[in-house]
Amino acid sequence: MPVFTLDNELSFPPVHLAEPDGLLAIGGDLSTTRLLTAYRNGIFPWYEDEVPLWWCPDPRFVLFPDKLKINKTTKALLKRNEFEFSINTAFKEVIHHCKNVIRPGQEGTWITPEVEKAYCKLYELGHAHSAEVWKNNKLVGGLYGIKMGKVFFGESMFSIESNASRFAFTKYVHQLIAEQVELIDCQIYSDYLESMGAEMIPRTAFTQLLQNLLPK
């Protein structure tokens, strides 16, 4: 099945036409309208060689917030006053750390300067959000993503202090529950998030959930 090439039109092919690995289209730009259109349709960008690649994998890795698993270590972590938690106070710093933190087994980052600029614009417009973890007034962990209706589309997280990202994720899921979010998109599988309750669901189920949970 051919991979679609995007032009100036702000539309995407039907997601069921994606390649087996989830790749749906290449090209286009990272304008606010295109990005929001992508998320609304269950599509997310991932850069490679400075060219936007647009993905919608099947199955899809998600977390239903009420299925969050909190193990004994995390429970103890939450009880200690080791970290401080905040929301939307350091978005630019969070995405910058996500871009630059070295991760084992991963070469480079998909967060290019263009991606960084585009998501900072989404933050300024109220679409992108961040959660921050602090220790001794230093940013040591966090995450960011897009919130639309009752769905949070997670994009990236980082940690430069042991357990800081786990703390950020757990605290932020609780916040999202308070905001009546019913679905967290984790995009692709990781054993780390699986241990916290994330699961694979069919793409058809995922897109149906988006239809039900996103604003009309």
Sorted by where each starts, the structural domains of the chain and their CATH numbers stand as: 4-59 (3.30.70.3550), 61-213 (3.40.630.70)
Average pLDDT value over all residues in the chain: 94
Provide the percentage of residues in the chain whose pLDDT is more than 70.
96
pLDDT one-digit tens code per residue, 161-184: 999 999 999 999 999 999 999 999
Residue 46, burial from CB neighbour count under 10 angstroms (0-12, 13-18, 19+): middle
> In terms of DSSP bridges, do strands 84-87 and 60-63 run parallel, antiparallel, or are they unpaired?
unpaired
pLDDT for the residue 126: 98
- Confidence bin at 1 (pLDDT 50/70/90): low
pLDDT one-digit tens code per residue, 63-87: 999 999 999 999 999 999 899 999 9
| Sequence-distant (≥ 6) Cβ neighbours of residue 150 within 8 angstroms | 180, 181, 182, 183, 213, 214
CA torsion through residues 144, 146, 152, 153, sign: negative
Phi, psi for residue 30 in degrees, rounded to 5? -115, 40
- Confidence bin at 155 (pLDDT 50/70/90): very high
pLDDT one-digit tens code per residue, 54-69: 999 999 999 999 999 9
- Confidence bin at 103 (pLDDT 50/70/90): low
- Confidence bin at 216 (pLDDT 50/70/90): confident
Reported pTM? 0.95
Instruction: Give mean pLDDT, residues 108-131.
Output: 92
pLDDT for the residue 8: 85
